[in-house]
Structure 1
């Protein structure tokens, strides 16, 4: 008579079957949010930020609105006041980027030119998005001459927010916020000229520059 397999063998078989079933399950996967244990404000980073001439973040003054930015507070990259996103008002172009994103590096000079020419009418706000390398992000800003402010999201908190879903499809990306604080548009990044940024602003924010 054939002997029953040992309990250890049965346990291994059961584990393999469960793993296979799990791999075949369809539906959305949970967002992998990394723990926000990365420092984005150190004395060394503040020195780099000062050397770049990068502007400090400006907290908003508005209350949360329907269709607006999420009620999440994030730190300013390289030091400065924290920013409650839902309090921000536009017209604002939010640019999602990362330290090791080559298309981000290529488009940052165009964003800086827009900031210098039109920053008094339409703000540029960067988000170092789901990035655990804030020191490298500041190095990239220095390389490209980017002086517009950026907030930092080292813990990937914004990955789970609908307003920033476009960032999950790849970087760089844009989120457009109107004067009432409502998110009115999204766009994939990769611009390479001032004119392209101006066209996006006209399309999504209705501001002709």
Structure 2
């Protein structure tokens, strides 16, 4: 009787451990493979797959961030320019003020310069999606909810724009909003040699 009770208890213990481990494996696999859908995110530009490249001196940090819309996570160190990365948040008033200049640049820059947005320290993904859609920011956007870029980009608060050259090096970091289309166009020419 004692042997049977012991075996029965051991059987239940093993079954419980197996169920617990299966449950945790399933949830972690699901968490990493899928993210909760945010209404309207499918209407944003998809994040492209990027080819793995070695980090460069004075280049972008070796940080991977998830896409705000659809598409894979992007490792910043893989990116090459000419590229302008704009760090923004939907709660940021200066970000709203400069958004028309970035929208216009995206429309005119096809084939000359790439744009990438990074929604920074933003607790409301649904409002971030709405912000990008309402301002016609027709380029891919990533999410940095945990402020991974605070140190590398010296972010006190958004907006910040990072100009990346064709070798992947950071050519210039612009703190604060752009105040005119001409200012943005002049920086593209001066820092990246791009004329629109």
TM range (shorter): 0.7 to 0.9
> Is residue 106–residue 137 contact of structure 2 (8 Å, CA) maintained in 1?
no
Query: Which residue is equivalent to 1:140?
Result: 131
Alignment of 1:121 with 2:112, yes or no, is yes
Q: 2:36 aligns with which of 42, 55, 58?
A: 42
Query: Which residue is equivalent to 2:55?
Result: 64
Q: 1:202 aligns with which of 189, 192, 196?
A: 189
Shift of 1:191: 1.9
Alignment of 1:151 with 2:138, yes or no, is no
Q: How many residues align?
A: 163
- Per-residue CA shift, 1:80-131, capped at 9, x if unaligned? 1110110000000010101100111121121011111113210111011122
Residue 104 of structure 1 aligns to a residue whose secondary structure is helix
2:110, 2:124 → 1: CA distance? 27
Q: How does 1:1-209 map to 2 (within 5 A)?
A: 41-43=35-37, 45=38, 47-51=39-43, 54-61=44-51, 62-161=53-152, 164-165=153-154, 167-168=155-156, 170-209=157-196
Q: In structure 2, list runs of 5 or more residues that go unmatched.
A: 1-30
Residue 160 of structure 1 aligns to a residue whose secondary structure is coil
Shift of 1:135: 1.6
